[in-house]
Structure 1
């Protein structure tokens, strides 16, 4: 990720995360983000670890891969369950006009019950937006025209 920092700290036996550089830079490129991505990246609480609307600690629940029709960019979605200690709702992100979707996965943390969100970053891109989500064992990268993030009840 360009601004958000996520690093494993062997002394802590956990991750150090820092979104301050992203939050500081966001006003410079916020208006270049498509409407849905701009609303999601700017949402109050998005990077406030004490907020129910913070993405940190959400648990990966489902990935619906992009579909294409007649060579046109398709749609995809990623759904996250709430962390029972922090969130009252889960999060569903729907991506439209998907031109790239990847999950780089490396099972390296075998002591966690779920794959969880560490942090994410939403940046303008020539396709519209690139959204990267760093998870405990993976990185999800999506380039698309726009995204819609909705807080929902997830079983």
Structure 2
């Protein structure tokens, strides 16, 4: 990632989205509408908020019609009240180096950047990465059930 800092440490990982948050206001205008809305959503990088992406579990990757892709994330009952689905439109490039392994592929953080054809979304997991270049993305939060709540 270009701005978000993720470093291994003795407790797992040190995460610092602050450098990205400092440049995000200047980057947001160059992003397509869906990407801009997702990246700038209040709480996206606030670890105490339920719509922070940290700790979501990658549940599925679906390849659609020729240039579409969908990532499905399952909530973490300790933190989230919703699952997240991100649909990518006009996909021109993607790289996946993370395994679907029953919920252990937990998202550390992500970063959305403007790109000449739309945007680039990079996601870093505890055990790999996903990077998608596309025309735009649509992020949808849907209610989830947590038996402990």
- Residue correspondence of structure 1 range 65-80 to structure 2 within 5 A: 65=63, 67-68=65-66, 74-80=67-73
Q: Is this contact kept in 2: 1:60–1:81, CA < 8 A? A: yes
2:3 is aligned with 1:7: no
Q: For residues 102 and 67 of structure 1, do their structure 2 counterparts lie closer, same or farther at Cα, with a shift above 3 Å needed?
A: farther
Superposed displacement of residue 57, structure 1: 0.5
Superposed displacement of residue 83, structure 1: 0.5
Superposed displacement of residue 153, structure 1: 3.4
Q: TM-score normalised to the size of structure 1?
A: 0.88
CA distance in 1 between counterparts of 2:64 and 2:40 reads 25
Aligned residue-pair number: 145
Structure 2 unaligned segments of length 5 or more: list them: none
Q: Is this contact kept in 2: 1:66–1:98, CA < 8 A? A: no
**Correspondence for 2:48 among 47, 50, 59:** 50
Q: For residues 154 and 61 of structure 1, do their structure 2 counterparts lie closer, same or farther at Cα, with a shift above 3 Å needed?
A: farther
Q: Render the CA deviation track for 1:109-141: whole Å, top value 9, x for unaligned.
A: x9x961101000000001200000001111000
SS of the residue 1:79 aligns to: strand
User: Where in structure 1 do 4 or more consecutive aligned residues deviate above 3 Å?
Assistant: none
**Correspondence for 1:153 among 134, 143, 147:** 143
- Give the CA RMSD over aligned residues: 1.9
**Correspondence for 1:28 among 18, 26, 29:** 26
